[in-house]
Amino acid sequence: MKYDVIIIGSGLGGLECGYILSKKGYKVCILEQNAQIGGCLQTFRRGKSVFDTGFHYVGGLDEGQSLHKLFSYFDLLDLPWHKLDEDAFAEVVIAGNPFFLASGHKRFADALANDFPHQRKQIETYTDMLKQIGDNIFNSFTGDYGNSALFESSAYLFLQQTIDDPLLRNILSGGSLTMELCSKKLPLYVFAQINNSFIQSTWKLKGNGSMIADKLADYIRAKDGNIITKAKVTRLIETDGKISAVEYNESEQVSGTYVISNIHPAQTLTLIPESRYIRKLYRNRISSIPNTFGIFTVHLQLKESTTPYLNRNIFVYRNGDSIWDCKPDKSGEINSILINYKTPRNGIYTDNIDILTPMYWDEVAQWSDTVVGKRGVDYEMFKQQKAESCIELASTRIPGLKDSIEKIYTSTPLTYRDYTGTQNGSAYGIRKDYNDALGTIIAPQTQIPNLFLSGQNLNLHGILGVSMTSFFTCAKIVGMNNLLKDFYI
């Protein structure tokens, strides 16, 4: 059967592209290699508990804010969203000392200025810059790429030059543990845009991230689109300089006018091993760009009515040295974690807590040729030691945590690779580098005219970045002006 658009991968970017194009009248087919759709929006059940794979919270959902406009378009605002504490959406703990980040730019600045009165002017300069970037986020939709200079500026140097107090610099950075704070590479625009969205407002779901995937998928199916699971794409078939068909499971095919790949660009190119249209220089560039680190997650199933819910995220650092340029401790000790409480059903106690910490591929590379459930005793011992260290650090902020635990489950970058198809289990795709902004920001258009890319690897990562990128990708097919008729900036 022939479709207007074939989309490879049902992560958020793939589903959003499918939604946009279905809304514009295109017949869409999405191919997903796993049994469950959603990519990092997937959930998994263990006993009585349901855990999120990668979705934990979003920023900017209040009316007039960045993600509100996007989620209004995707009809996701009626999901059961829950707002985090405006006076403390995040708690940053450094060497045992807690500091609180408040929602709203003025409230955010006032709260920190109470602890750092000598830095009030610098804090206001910082928040004003973030707000200015956030207020202009949609200008790129209309052709204004005025923020390109900020992709070529260093986030680390901006903080050094703006904030005098080194402890305050660490606090402002401390809510970005999962962003990969690389002092020599992270662009200011990436740091500022994401942090600004959380300062605007921060939200969780009363439920799981799969609700987002299911809502988008329901719309696509209602528009006569097709989503095929357990369909691993094995080859893109090129005819006369265009992709004429997509092969999956090595024997089945679907054909389409356009193809969008929501998987890693390097993985996409392996599906076209020979093409006179894809230059060797392009292949080498895409395959050589480093990826961000992965995440080790401890999923805790808690005993009933033992752990009161806290309506904020907690970022814990043993000391200020572990915030920028985080590297694995050779002793195996965990030095930084994010504690994320699952929103409770009864409003008092939480059932689950996720503890997240950065993990590089090198730490699990020795098991890269193994499969889920058959990685061996050494791997299980490795995960157990990591989990115990995470729980020990989390216990410094949650009294009685160890006694409240019923079951412990863990996931590593290997888990992400096998269940979500991410390259080396990377949490946020290609590492952006302000020294080579053009080389690490990937265009949606490939060198094959009807093959396009989407997802977190292109421009910005996270829910906000992927949602924006889906518009840029679809605009290559239908035109941005055509899309903006339905999306009021």
3-state secondary structure string, 106-129? HHHHHHHHHHCHHHHHHHHHHHHH
Reported as a single tens digit per residue, the pLDDT across 217-237 is 999 999 999 999 999 999 999
Residues of the chain falling short of pLDDT 70: 140-148, 330, 488-489
Residue 145 has a pLDDT of 42
pLDDT value of position 251: 93
Q: Give the pLDDT confidence of 412-447 residue by residue, as tens digits.
A: 999 988 887 788 889 888 999 999 988 888 899 999
Distances (CA, A) of 449 to 70, 239, 276, 455, 471: 27, 12, 13, 18, 18
Query: What pLDDT, on the 0 to 100 scale, is given for residue 140?
Result: 66
Rg (the chain; Cα; Å): 22
For residue 148, what pLDDT is reported? 67
- State the pLDDT at residue 146: 43
Percent of the chain at pLDDT exceeding 90: 74
Could you say which architecture CATH assigns to the domain 81-207+294-359+365-411? Answer: Alpha-Beta Complex (3.90)
Region(s) of the chain under CATH 3.90.660: 81-207+294-359+365-411
Delimiting residues of CATH 3.50.50.60 domain(s) in the chain: 2-55+208-289+431-484
- Return the percentage of the chain with pLDDT > 70, whole number: 97
How distant, in Å, are the alpha carbons of 92, 157, 391 from that of 316? 6, 23, 11
Q: pLDDT value at position 142? A: 57
> Please, are residues 467 and 12 in contact by the beta-carbon 8 Å criterion?
yes
Q: Does the domain spanning 2-55+208-289+431-484 belong to CATH 3.40.50.2000? A: no
Other Cβ atoms less than 10 A from the Cβ of 224: the count is: 10
Strand order in the sheet with 202-205: 58-59, 202-205, 81-83
Give the bridge partners for 357, in sequence order: 296
Per residue in 17-67, pLDDT tens?
999 999 999 999 999 999 999 988 988 888 878 888 889 999 999 999 989
Looking at residue 150, its pLDDT comes to: 78
Per-residue model confidence (pLDDT) at position 488? 63
